[in-house]
Amino acid sequence: MNKTALVTGATSGIGKATAQILAKNNYNIILCGRREDRLLELKNELSAFTEVHTLSFDVRDKKAVFESINSIPESFSKIDILINNAGNAHGLDSIQNGDLDDWDAMIDINVKGLLYVSKAIIPQMIERKSGHIINIGSIAGKEVYPNGNVYCASKHAVDALNQAMRMDLNPFGIRVGAIHPGAVETEFSEVRFKGDVDKAANVYKGFEPLHPEDIADIIHFVVSRPYHVNIADLMVLPTAQASATILKRD
């Protein structure tokens, strides 16, 4: 029987590429995100390969998270793989100039949203004594960089939660691991710079960033390891990137 994977943030970037590669490798997919038009478009594309269900909710809205996950039809309700990917940076400002709404967004989406979705799905994994959770962290969860303050804090929290989940879920045979990418060219920088596409494009100028498919390919590798193998913590950088702040540009 095909495994079922629930992917948050499947309307764009890493989440979308992950849904695409998993669908092509016979995983049933639950696509999550807020933008329904994109969810339906991707569902149409991936239905050629596998069974696809869509769930539109904002991960900040805990009631909507639980209602949506509880509404999943029987045929998709056994979730084998949870990919906690939804998240973004909002702004790139010093701590003294940071915008409170940006701070709320990053903590509410990247940390609390990840917790809500996990809390809604973990009980069924515990009951079955099986499951695999992949948390998408960041190099920003391993290092801090100037003006990255709250985004870095939110991703350090993901790193901590990844370790904590692995400990707490260990008695139940549930695999938990994180992937921490460096620079990946997605809509990430457009969101961070509030739609300023030129500023966003500059982030990736002069070097080859990772493409969302590079991370998706690794996620597929991680979930397809034999049960006794848990890839617990993996940092993936573009070759041009040595750290959060050291980048070799042409």
Integer angstrom CA distances of residue 231 from 81, 180, 221: 14, 12, 10
Residues 160-199 binding ligand NDP (CB under 6 A) are 181, 183-184, 186-188, 191
Type and span of the H or E element at 53: strand 52-56
Nearest to 188 by CA among 228, 231, 227, 138: 138
Q: How far is CA 19 from CA 74, 80, 143, in A?
A: 20, 14, 28
Contact mark string toward ligand NDP, 116..155, x via CB under 6 A: --------------------x-x-----------------
Query: Which tokens sit at 89?
Result: 């940076």
Distance of CA 190 to the CA centre of its chain: 17
Q: Kindly tell me which of 46 and 183 has the beta carbon lying closer to ligand 8X3.
A: 183
Q: Quickly tell me which residue has 């409170």 as its tokens.
A: 100
Instruction: Select the residue interacting with ligand NDP from 35, 194, 225, 248 (CB under 6 A).
Output: 35
Q: Pick the binder of ligand NDP from 83, 109, 111, 121 (CB under 6 A).
A: 109
Instruction: Clarify whether 145 is annotated catalytic.
Output: no
User: With CB under 6 A as the contact rule, which of the stretches 7-15, 72-80, 165-173, 217-225 interacts with ligand NDP?
Assistant: 7-15
Q: How far is the C-alpha of 188 from the C-alpha of 14, rounded, in Å?
A: 10
Contact set with ligand NDP (CB under 6 A): 9-15, 33-35, 58-60, 85-88, 109, 113, 136, 138, 181, 183-184, 186-188, 191, 212
Q: Which residues are catalytic?
A: 151
